[in-house]
Every structure is written in C-alpha cells, then in structure tokens.
Amino acid sequence: MDFSTEWWLLAIGFTGQACFFLRFFWQWLASERQKKSIIPLEFWYLSLLGSFFLLIYALLRRDIVFIVGQSTGSIIYIRNLVLIHREKRRHAT
C-alpha cells in the first residue's frame, strides 16, 4: 500500500480504531463517576460507529476475516441499542 495514494484508507481505519478506544475510555470515565461498573449508552453508539468505519476499511482491503468480525459485531451493538431504547420508552409511558 502506497501511503501517498491511500491515505484515506488509513484515515478510515484509524477513525474506526479511535472510536473503539473512545468507547472503553468513555465507559471507564462513566464508571469512575458512578463508583461502579456501568456501560453508558454512548458505549454502544461508539461501538457501532467504530464497527462501521472498520467494516468499510475491511471491505476496501478485501479482508474476509475482518469483514465477518465487524459485520457480526454490528448486529450485537444494534440489538443492544434497540433493547435500551425500548426500555426507555417503556419507562416513559
């Protein structure tokens, strides 16, 4: 890979990695504030965003192992967000 011609590919990959790092950092900060282990809503959104960017990166690199890993992870992140929002709606009514 020639860095000068594929810098955008690296930017996509590093953006995904940054989102995955931020989700754990955000979770750590939220847990420290609450003085207990919690998983904030933003964790799931950052997971989905990171997975999206890494899936694009994997598709462009044509890496089947990475493609399968990122696409299946997205299903779990979306399902958790659906469950969280469903629970919030139930409590709001």
User: Does residue 20 form part of some domain?
Assistant: yes
CB 45 within 8 A of CB 81: yes
Domain that holds residue 28: 7-92
Report yes or no on 14 lying in a domain.
Answer: yes
Q: Which two tokens stand for residue 5?
A: 């011609």
Q: Confirm whether 23 is domain-assigned.
A: yes
In a domain, 2, yes or no: no
Residue 15 in domain? yes
C-alpha distance from residue 61 to each of 33, 57, 84, 92 (Å): 40, 6, 33, 44
What pLDDT does residue 44 have?
93
Instruction: Find the DSSP H helices in the chain.
Output: 7-34, 41-61, 64-92
pLDDT in tens, 6-54: 888 888 889 988 988 998 899 999 999 999 988 999 999 999 999 999 9
pLDDT for residue 51:
92
Whether 30 maps to a domain, the answer reads yes
Q: How sure is the predictor about 69, in pLDDT bands with cuts at 50, 70 and 90?
A: confident
The pLDDT of residue 84 is 94
Is residue 70 scored above 70 in pLDDT? yes
How many domains does the structure of the chain reveal?
1
**Residue 54, domain member (yes or no):** yes
Checking if the pLDDT of 1 tops 60, the result is no
Cα angle at 79 between 12 and 24, to 5 degrees?
Answer: 50
Is residue 16 in some structural domain?
yes
Q: Which residue has the higher pLDDT, 6 or 90?
A: 90
